[in-house]
Amino acid sequence: MPDSIKKSLRKYFIMGSQNCTRNPVEILEAAVEAGITAFQFREKGEGSLKGEAKIELGKQLQAVCHKAGIPFIVNDDVELVDLLDADGIHVGQDDQSAQDLRKVFPNKWIGLSVSNANELENSPLAYVDYIGAGPIFHTSTKTDAKAAVGLKWISTLRREFPSLPIVGIGGITTENAASVMEAGADGVSIITAITRAENIERAVKLL
């Protein structure tokens, strides 16, 4: 299981309609076509859809993932995971605990964001399939993002947990993605470098 997760984390695209300046479904289709290996529907923050509109977009994006055979993960919305039967859920430190989620979703992926040693200490890693480490670099995408922690956070985690699936997040671009992998990550998760790419195919290939 960890090996297939690691492979899927390689180019992990995250997005919600609030990150898009054009049709999110078309953006995801282009990214899938270009070779992303997993997708997370993160519909949250200013300008995000709610209620039925969120569900409807989730269904459309999930269909694109299904067609391509890549995992469709939902950010922090247990009801939506249930409703769509998503492949997994990604949560932050202040969301529902991985331990509780594991009871509800014994067979789905559970991803957890971990930003520092203190959070790591309080993270029930036994119930988690992968961790999102970051923000590695400065990001303007998440308004409440913590300070950038740098590549060292990846190498520290890798040293402590040799086989844990780790994906870097935050400010990752086509220029710095290789350094995240060299530091020990299994993959990169990306919003802006794909949603705002002039040429999505080229961006995903470069990643």
Task: Output the known binding site.
Answer: 40-44, 75-76, 95, 113, 139-142, 171, 191-192
**Stretch (H or E) spanning 160:** helix 151-160
Given the DSSP bridges, would you call strands 11-15 and 187-190 parallel, antiparallel or unpaired? parallel
Q: Which of ligand TZP, Mg ion, none sits in contact with 141, Cβ below 5 to 8 A by type?
A: ligand TZP
When binding is defined by CB under 6 A, the residue of 36, 164, 167, 169 that contacts ligand TZP is 169
Torsions phi, psi for 30 (to 5 deg): -65, -40
Q: Which is nearer to ligand TZP, 44 or 63 (CB)?
A: 44
Q: Whole-number minimum distance, CB 1 to Mg ion, in Å?
A: 24
Q: Which of the following is catalytic: 10, 102, 142, 196? A: 142
Q: Which of residues 20-49 bind ligand TZP (CB under 6 A)?
A: none
Give yes or no for a contact between 35 and 205, defined as CB atoms under 8 angstroms apart.
yes
129 binds Mg ion (CB under 5 A): no
192 binds ligand TZP (CB under 6 A): yes
CB 153, min distance to ligand TZP, A: 12
- Would you call 4 a catalytic residue per the annotation? no
CA dist 35 to 59, 68, 152, Å? 21, 9, 28
Is 196 a known active-site residue?
A: no
Residues contacting ligand TZP: total by CB under 6 A: 14
Q: Is 171 in the site for ligand TZP (CB under 6 A)?
A: yes
Exposure string for 118-132, b = 16+ CB within 10 A, e = fewer:
eebeebeeeebbbbb
Q: Which residues bind ligand TZP (CB under 6 A)?
A: 134-135, 139, 141-142, 145, 169-172, 190-193
